[in-house]
Amino acid sequence: MTERIGSEPVMAAERVSVRFAVGRGTLTAVDDVSLALHRGRTVALVGESGSGKSTLAMAMMRATVPNEGRILFQGRDITHLPERRLKPLRRHFQMVFQDPYASLDPRMTVGRVIAEPLRAHGLGNRQAIRARVTEVLDQVGLPASAVHRYPAQFSGGQRQRISIARALAARPSVIVADEPVSALDVSIQAQIVSLLGEIQASENLAYLVIAHDLALVHHISDRVVVLYLGRVVEEGPTTEVVSQPQHPYTAALLSATPTPDDPQRERIVLSGDPPSPIQRPAGCVFHTRCPIARPVCATDTPTLDPAGPNRAVACFFPGELASGLTIASAPVRQKEGS
């Protein structure tokens, strides 16, 4: 049975911060971020490059150890768990990477690629592993004969299916998908999105999806977390956030999304680039680019406060840029088979 949103999450980040020493300074990649992943649900991390999305995902996968905060898996604190005790748990949280051309070892057959996590975790003998590989290939829409071929013999969409099969092989509870369709042709993206949705429904998986395309986010996620310079500026149910954004940064991201119903819609153009995460501005981290910034924004830091049921926003003047914004139409589900 799919867990309700109020039940215990399968994985969670609690007030996580990640910093890196850079030269004579400190780069703050993630700053006091909390989120929870539930079975059968998808959380989307949204933001520009450098907003901390991938770093937060790596911290939740324990590929990076947070400087502050906790990572919980099934209620267990795994933040500082030594590798020998962490390894048996790693089968339960797997990743699908952005570039299907770079994420698969070209020297390994597809069969070996998919079998690798099974062998690493000792999940079955040779016969059982072979059967599981065949099973997940079928699940992602590829023939059993693919086991004898190499990644270079497949298209980009097919390679991403192989990556998804590899992530599924060890029967995980959580899958992190880092821009899973951005490197694919538009004609293939909807097929992969549909495949991920079908797999989530059948396996009751928790998804954390990293994305910048809010049309995609609107289609695949239940909840969205908007990051700017490592901080959460807005979060809430996806439908509500994309229909009525409360933070000006979210509104600007939405205005940049093409909308067929209103191609002449005025865009909110942000001036300049995000500030350096090494020399973060005082006050609100977004005030240097914000179209509605007031003097208070340069001196005081807004807290992430409730903005309705299950919603929160970090802004002194929420909702001022929300009028007239609509999300682009969601991709049409297509028949599988690429």
Helix or strand run (H / E) with residue 250: helix 248-255
Least confident range of 28-37, 84-93, 173-182, 252-261: 252-261
CA distance 22 to 9: 34
- Asked whether the predicted pLDDT for residue 277 surpasses 80, the reply is yes
The pLDDT of residue 140: 96
Tell which wins on pLDDT, 70 or 272.
Answer: 70
Helix or strand run (H / E) with residue 56: helix 53-60
264: pLDDT confidence band, cut at 50, 70 and 90?
A: low
Alpha helical stretches, state H, 172-231: 186-203, 214-220
Q: What is the pTM of this model?
A: 0.89
146: pLDDT confidence band, cut at 50, 70 and 90?
A: very high
Interval 135-164 mean pLDDT: 95
- If you search the block for the tokens 């680039």, which residue do you land on? 273
Structure token digits, residue 295: 């003097």
The pLDDT of residue 4: 42
Structure token digits, residue 236: 């809430």
Strands 206-211 and 25-37: unpaired
The pLDDT of residue 338: 39
Q: Is residue 311 within 8 Å of residue 304, measured between CB atoms?
A: no
- If you search the block for the tokens 């996806």, which residue do you land on? 238
pLDDT, tens digit, for every residue of 22-56? 987 899 999 999 999 999 999 999 998 889 999 99
Query: Could you give the 3-state DSSP secondary structure of residue 106?
Result: coil
- Asked whether the predicted pLDDT for residue 215 surpasses 90, the reply is no
CA distance 92 to 95: 10
pLDDT, tens digit, for every residue of 104-135? 999 999 999 999 999 999 999 999 999 999 99
C-alpha closest to that of 229 among 174, 281, 173:
281
- Asked whether the predicted pLDDT for residue 269 surpasses 90, the reply is no
Break the chain down into helix, strand, coil percent, rounded to 5.
30, 20, 50
